[in-house]
Chains A and B, each alone.
Chain A
Amino acid sequence: MAELILCGRGGQGIVFLTRQIGQVLSAKGLNVVSSETHGMAVRGGSINSHLRIGGFFSPLIRAGHADFLISLDATETDNNKHYLKPGGLIVENSTLAEEPGIKRIDAAGLARELGRVQLENVVLLGYAATLEGFPVTVEQIRGQLSKEPREQVRSLNLRALQAGVDAAA
């Protein structure tokens, strides 16, 4: 059992990440349920996804229950911190230094180096997947991203993933 919140601004590709993780776990035969934001808020507003692994029915995480908070926009972290359980871990896209309970990586900067800031979500996922207790492994995500049929999208995503993984090393 694990519960994850992913947050950020509309347009940052949070839904994409949620789907990749969910798809990997579904294929493994696990029970996964998630919830995502669509509609008006996606126009640059605050959005989050909930992802729950285990015998859950509801797609929503209650405040104080999440194991991980994956934040693509540091200004959104505060809006979602209350979901975290005591001892839960924040993984944030930020240029600041790490502190206890918060892992940070400049995913946007690494993505820009790859030529597209839009890849920041995949960079952050690559980084998060190296962390202890994270519900999917780098290998599993790589396998999932490799299924993308469009050659260019696939290779960019794989490079972004690797950039995140390397940053953790």
Chain B
Amino acid sequence: MLSDKSKKFTLIEISDEDVFEAMRSIQGYIDITPADFREVYKAAYGLAKMRFMQTLTAADIMTEGVHVLGENTSLYEAALFLAEKGITGAPVTDAQGKLSGVISEKDFMSCMGAEKRDSFMLIVARQLRDGKNLAENLNGRTVGDIMTAPAITISADTPVSRISSIMGEKNINRLPVLDSSGSLAGIVTRSDLISSFNMLGDGDA
């Protein structure tokens, strides 16, 4: 179901004691043992989770009305735009308005000399050590120059389980969603995904 790289989601283990207390709070004699109940609970929870993972799709959790950047936008403009919208990345479209890539903070950072997986703090440290303006590299370049292309996309009916494994495997934070005609319908970010998992942890359904 989930790739090995991503942490397996395990349900909260309930103890005999929990079940015993719950049984006590219910009026009447329930003729099963706490162990039986735990077994049923585990199996039922597994099925419910499976159903949840299969039936909830990109369409259910995506953000519509995506902020898009053009390939030819300067990086200065792009940075300003992302800051203004309070987002860390956006899909990129070409002159015809077709999705051509995705740009995010990571692309900016690697352009400023960060290796893959280097953090923003490393850039700060280098800047302070060398006193050289690292943002210099961004000058005069456009979104199209540094974006990640081609974009990894999903369709509106991609199940949540698949989305989380793609994000885990590719180590990315956002996935543009294409509708059946191939145009941009929305975007699913890691936080959209996390919000969808909130439903899983809720005991009082």
- Specify whether A and B are partners: no
A residues contacting B by CB (< 8 A) are none
